[in-house]
Amino acid sequence: MSKASIPQGTRDFSAGVVRKRNYIINTIKNVFELYGFEPLETPAMENLDTLMGKYGEEGDKLIFKILNNGLSDPRNTDKARAAFENVLQGKNDKQLTERALKYDLTIPFARYVAMNHGQLTFPFKRYQVQPVWRADRPQRGRYREFYQCDADVVGSTSLMNEVELVHIYATVFQQLHIDADIKINSRKILSALAELCGGNEKLTDITIAIDKLDKIGIEKVQEELLQRGLDEQQVGIIRQYLHVEGSNTEKINAIKELLGTTQAGVKGIEELEYILHYPSSAHIKPPVIDFTLARGLNYYTGSIFEVKARNVQMGSIGGGGRYDDLTGLFGVPNIPGVGISFGIDRIYDVMEELALFPQEVHSGTQVLFFNLGEAESKKAFSLMQQLRDKGISCELYHEQSKFDKQFKYAERKHIAYAVMIGSRELESNTCIIKKLGTGEQSAVALSDLAGYSF
């Protein structure tokens, strides 16, 4: 007999949590759909080949590999042993493992597009909300199984896509009542900065250092840049860059002065201006330029986004950007794209902390019919059908037992109404409806029950 336990870093989602998570996920999906994005679901497993080498050395180590079946078949023993020696040396061997759990949604999406590009209609706009797995050390807010929620448009270089993705962010967070800043920058502007500070080979160093600004502050960023081989004058330019402030227009003007001499700078500024000046509805909150935004991932080549919630201590709740090449790794070149993602777990935490979940999200069963005898409960049973036909969820307590016990059940399940039909009510064709929050109760004719506004 085994003691019941759940793997470290994984979670059961019980009803209350599922309902709240679905409230978030459905809000996002509905907005994706309104913008013409289509759902895609890929399997949990991918071939190991598809995943390995795509996430850097550290990422590779965090991929959950699946053991091949049939290893204990004696005919395979020698091969399996040899394969295992390879694995011990950090190599992969298909004799032992050839499948793995997906690590993110981007590579499986790329694999899907590469496999089906002949049949797809481009621009291809897809969204995907699925779990991914990482063998990270579990800690508060970091899980080994967690959901990602991505939308991408591929096969188009139009900046209108960026404008729409910003709209999607604004609309979703507005609908969730989260006061959020959508930050925007461009990798081209970071390239321009690198061009002025030691050339393109410094781009990664500069990006990595800037990415830490929030955590370590400007002094430490400067130190790090010096350590990474930039000279005082170059660090001075970066200091100036990081100090650009004011409204979007003021920032654009300042950055034009700083980087407007470089080709990448001109292009990056032009693109940002296009996105920012695109005519928008009054109720769409405009994005905010943040030149200190870098986004760690290296495949971004154009605009980059990040979303932060106000009034709460929390990392970014969304991020994304433009990339030049989705599927080159799978032998299909020339598919550029732009995408955003929503951090479901963090959005959940923000909404929990700021008490933003609407009351109706919590409700399961709306009406409990008390079980007060055989004939009484049979009557109740047929009445419940009428309510269910009207979309009202209801239950009959499963056995005849004390009022107390039935009330307790209703209370623990947060059921709003009790309907009681005892022998007297059965005779008079009535029932008693009790609002459990207030204790208020009234007698209602059975023929009026289906019309009662619960």
Instruction: Pick out residues in 241-280 that bind its own copies (CB under 8 A).
Output: 278-280
* Residue 454 contacts its own copies per CB under 8 A: no
Rounded to a whole number of angstroms, the minimum distance from the CB of residue 448 to its own copies is: 18
Instruction: Determine the distance from the C-alpha atom of residue 310 to the mean position of all C-alpha atoms in its chain, rounded to a whole number.
Output: 18
Interface pattern 279-298 for its own copies (x via CB under 8 A) = xxx--x--------------
Task: Tell me which residues in 131-190 interact with its own copies (CB under 8 A).
Answer: 131, 133, 135, 144-145, 153, 156, 158, 160-161, 163, 167, 171
Return the number of the residue (116 or 261) whose C-beta is nearest its own copies: 116
Rounded to a whole number of angstroms, the minimum distance from the CB of residue 453 to its own copies is: 17
* Residue 223 contacts its own copies per CB under 8 A: no
Rounded to a whole number of angstroms, the minimum distance from the CB of residue 340 to its own copies is: 16
Rounded to a whole number of angstroms, the minimum distance from the CB of residue 231 to its own copies is: 39
Return the number of the residue (18 or 443) whose C-beta is nearest its own copies: 18
Return the number of the residue (203 or 340) whose C-beta is nearest its own copies: 340
Interface residue with its own copies, options 301, 393, 422, 436 (CB under 8 A):
393
Interface pattern 343-382 for its own copies (x via CB under 8 A) = ---------------------xx-----------xx--xx
Piece in contact with its own copies (CB under 8 A), picked from 197-205, 225-233, 385-393, 417-425: 385-393
Residues contacting its own copies: total by CB under 8 A: 106
Instruction: Determine the distance from the C-alpha atom of residue 259 to the mean position of all C-alpha atoms in its chain, rounded to a whole number.
Output: 34
Burial (0-12, 13-18, 19+ Cβ within 10 Å), 120: middle
Q: Give the whole-angstrom CA distance, residue 138 versus residue 151.
A: 27
* Residue 72 contacts its own copies per CB under 8 A: yes
Please write down the long-range contacts of 272-279, taking CB distance under 8 Å and 24 or more positions apart: 272/184, 272/185, 272/186, 272/189, 272/303, 274/159, 275/159, 275/162, 275/163, 275/166, 275/184, 275/303, 276/184, 276/248, 276/252, 278/159, 278/160, 278/163
Whose CA is closest to 341, among 326, 323, 325, 320? 320
For residue 303, report the phi and psi dihedrals to the nearest 5 degrees: -65, 145
CA angle 303, 295, 321 (to 5 degrees): 30
* Residue 111 contacts its own copies per CB under 8 A: yes
Task: Tell me which residues in 399-438 interact with its own copies (CB under 8 A).
Answer: 399, 409, 412-413
* Residue 199 contacts its own copies per CB under 8 A: no
User: For residues 382-420, b (16+ Cβ closer than 10 Å) or e, as one string?
Assistant: ebbeebeeeebebbbbeeeeeeeebbebbeeeebebbbb
Rounded to a whole number of angstroms, the minimum distance from the CB of residue 176 to its own copies is: 17
* Residue 209 contacts its own copies per CB under 8 A: no
Interface residue with its own copies, options 27, 59, 104, 114 (CB under 8 A):
114
Pairing verdict, β 430-435 and 417-420: antiparallel
Whose CA is closest to 336, among 167, 170, 187, 166? 187
DSSP 79-112: HHHHHHHHHHTT---TTTEEEEE-S-SHHHHHHH
Interface residue with its own copies, options 175, 200, 334, 385 (CB under 8 A):
385
Return the number of the residue (9 or 422) whose C-beta is nearest its own copies: 9
Interface residue with its own copies, options 94, 142, 220, 388 (CB under 8 A):
388
Rounded to a whole number of angstroms, the minimum distance from the CB of residue 111 to its own copies is: 5
